[in-house]
């Protein structure tokens, strides 16, 4: 356990049902939380690692859309790391819900599994999203919630006022007591005494009794019960004690200054690409080499990565790159690229500024520039990707406005 303080008796529910449509075609057959990030990880590994490192090991992962690969990942990795009375379990409305109905809103997802909350002896329920990249000691947020004797505490991202209209924004008093909430307001209200605003991160700590009460009331009033749209306004209407927790105040062991406040949505192909590419910088904003707060995942039983051949014109080289286990760079050049597990790049090929998912094979004399290649794809000898976007489109690849070429596998999960 890496948490700095006691989490009390807390269970967690992770909302992992998002379609991630803006990440299409990477999300054609998989949910957004199941998309690879940083070569070896899934996006959901970040929130689960935060909970695990914080000492919260009773976790329900609520899945929905294209849940197969996500459920398999939870079972094969997170399901193995808990003991008696601890669990990381994936549940889906298509298999587990009594009503067998799809979730209609974020709060409706928790409502459908309220029996798990009611049957627990938990004092607090942490409800977190499963599709963001960040590090957080959740125990500090729970301490804050406890000290304020709050009914609900919402994690808040401090953002410049000119960016705040893209988020759900809280109005707060000097004590960070939330007085109002507006979704994507045209004129966002600033934090008292500052030129910044509090944007919702979609992460909540509820006192258990209050959560049960408000969801049961919301069930009678709204069919598509949602935390931001319905639950928070209802609680403000009732004058419940609702507080904002400033994410900038959260400090994890081993954190570097540049990592403070790091939080990425990676909801578009461009933001996803940029966040991955940051990892290969000399000093990335997100430090995956902090062993005091590790990001955990299914490591697999793979051999080390290796390079092959050292001849003029045929030299295996990985330069400024992030190379996962099981990779072979055979007489090829890989530069500023992330190679997922078990990738092979064959002789006389060049891969630059790209992200290759698991088990991609690149043939000989191939050139790939600024591309995302989905898992299990074989790139034939002589192929060129990213050099002529008109030709890329004719081949059926997606090309973003910023020039990222996406080669998808319709069967990948």
How many angstroms separate the CA atoms of 413 and 35, rounded?
9
326 a known binding residue? no
How many angstroms separate the CA atoms of 387 and 365, rounded?
14
Mean pLDDT in residue range 375-386: 98
Q: What is the pLDDT of residues 170-193, one digit of tens each?
A: 999 999 999 999 989 999 999 999
pLDDT score at 102: 55
- The more confident residue out of 81 and 207 is 207
- Domain-embedded: residue 2: no
Q: Are 158 and 29 within one domain?
A: yes
pLDDT score at 96: 43
Mean pLDDT in residue range 64-88: 84
How many angstroms separate the CA atoms of 170 and 154, rounded?
10
Mean pLDDT in residue range 157-166: 94
pLDDT score at 66: 74
Asked if residue 200 has pLDDT above 90, the reply is: yes
Number of domains within the chain = 2
184 a known binding residue? yes
- Domain-embedded: residue 55: yes
- Domain-embedded: residue 138: yes
pLDDT score at 98: 44
Single out the residue of 281, 284, 343, 266 nearest to residue 40, CA to CA.
343
- Domain-embedded: residue 4: no
pLDDT score at 94: 53
Q: Are 315 and 268 within one domain?
A: no
Q: Are 101 and 237 within one domain?
A: yes
Asked if residue 148 has pLDDT above 90, the reply is: yes
- Domain-embedded: residue 175: yes
CB 33 within 8 A of CB 16: yes
**Considering the chain, what percentage of its residues have pLDDT values greater than 90?**
80
pLDDT-based confidence at 223, cuts 50/70/90?
A: confident
- Domain-embedded: residue 296: no
pLDDT score at 93: 65
Single out the residue of 212, 163, 213, 215 nearest to residue 184, CA to CA.
163
Q: Are 111 and 259 within one domain?
A: yes
Q: What is the pLDDT of residues 295-336, one digit of tens each?
A: 999 878 999 999 999 999 999 999 999 999 999 999 999 999
96 a known binding residue? no
Question: Which CATH number belongs to the domain containing residue 355 in this structure?
Answer: 2.160.10.10
- Domain-embedded: residue 297: no
Single out the residue of 250, 219, 3 nearest to residue 111, CA to CA.
219
> Where does 251-307 have alpha helices with state H?
269-278
Q: Are 210 and 347 within one domain?
A: no
Place of tokens 């979730």: 103
Q: Are 257 and 349 within one domain?
A: no
Q: Are 271 and 313 within one domain?
A: no
363 a known binding residue? no
Mean pLDDT of all residues belonging to the chain:
92
pLDDT score at 109: 85
Asked if residue 3 has pLDDT above 60, the reply is: no
- Domain-embedded: residue 39: yes
Q: Are 326 and 258 within one domain?
A: no
Asked if residue 202 has pLDDT above 80, the reply is: yes
Residue 157's domain comprises: 10-278
Q: Are 250 and 320 within one domain?
A: no
Question: Which CATH number belongs to the domain containing residue 186 in this structure?
Answer: 3.90.550.10
**Considering the chain, what percentage of its residues have pLDDT values greater than 70?**
95
Q: What is the pLDDT of residues 335-364, one digit of tens each?
A: 999 999 999 999 999 999 999 999 999 999
pLDDT score at 5: 54
pLDDT score at 300: 82
Q: Are 96 and 145 within one domain?
A: yes
Mean pLDDT in residue range 253-277: 94
Asked if residue 281 has pLDDT above 90, the reply is: yes
Q: Are 264 and 312 within one domain?
A: no
Q: Are 254 and 321 within one domain?
A: no
């Amino acid at each position: 356990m890496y948490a700095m303080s006691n989490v009390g008796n807390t269970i967690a529910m992770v909302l992992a049902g998002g379609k991630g449509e803006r990440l299409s075609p990477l999300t054609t057959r998989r949910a957004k939380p199941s998309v690879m990030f940083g070569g070896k990880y899934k996006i959901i590994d970040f929130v689960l690692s935060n909970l695990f490192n914080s000492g919260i090991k009773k976790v329900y992962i609520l899945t929905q859309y294209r849940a197969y690969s996500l459920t398999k990942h939870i079972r094969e990795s997170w399901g193995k790391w808990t003991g008696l009375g601890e669990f990381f379990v994936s549940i889906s409305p298509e298999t587990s819900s009594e009503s067998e109905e799809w979730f209609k809103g974020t709060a409706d997802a928790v409502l459908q599994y309220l029996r798990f909350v009611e049957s627990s002896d938990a004092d607090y329920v942490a409800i977190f999203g499963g599709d963001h990249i960040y590090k957080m000691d959740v125990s500090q947020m729970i301490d804050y919630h406890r000290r304020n004797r709050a009914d609900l505490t919402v994690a808040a991202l401090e953002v410049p006022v000119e960016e705040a209209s893209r988020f759900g924004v809280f109005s707060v008093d000097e004590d960070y007591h939330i007085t109002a909430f507006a979704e994507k307001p045209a004129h966002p209200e600033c934090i008292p005494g500052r030129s910044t605003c509090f944007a919702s991160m979609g992460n909540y700590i509820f006192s258990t009794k209050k959560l049960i009460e408000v969801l049961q009331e919301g069930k009678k009033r709204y069919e598509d019960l949602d935390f931001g749209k319905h639950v928070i306004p209802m609680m403000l209407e009732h004058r419940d004690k609702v507080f904002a927790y400033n994410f900038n105040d959260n400090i994890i062991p081993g954190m570097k200054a540049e990592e403070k406040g790091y939080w990425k949505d990676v909801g578009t192909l461009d933001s996803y690409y940029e966040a991955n590419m940051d990892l290969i910088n000399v000093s990335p904003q997100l430090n995956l080499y902090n062993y005091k707060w590790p990001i955990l995942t299914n490591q697999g039983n793979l051999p080390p990565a290796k390079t092959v051949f050292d001849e003029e014109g045929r030299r295996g080289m990985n330069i400024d790159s992030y190379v996962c286990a099981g990779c072979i760079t055979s007489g090829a050049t890989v530069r500023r690229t992330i190679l997922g597990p078990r990738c092979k790049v064959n002789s006389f090929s060049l891969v630059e500024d790209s992200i290759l998912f698991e088990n991609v094979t690149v043939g000989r004399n191939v050139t790939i520039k600024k591309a995302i290649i989905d898992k299990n794809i074989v790139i034939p000898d002589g192929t060129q990707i990213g050099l002529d976007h008109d030709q890329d489109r004719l081949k059926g690849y997606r090309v973003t406005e910023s020039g990222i070429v996406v080669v998808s596998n319709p069967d990948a999960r």
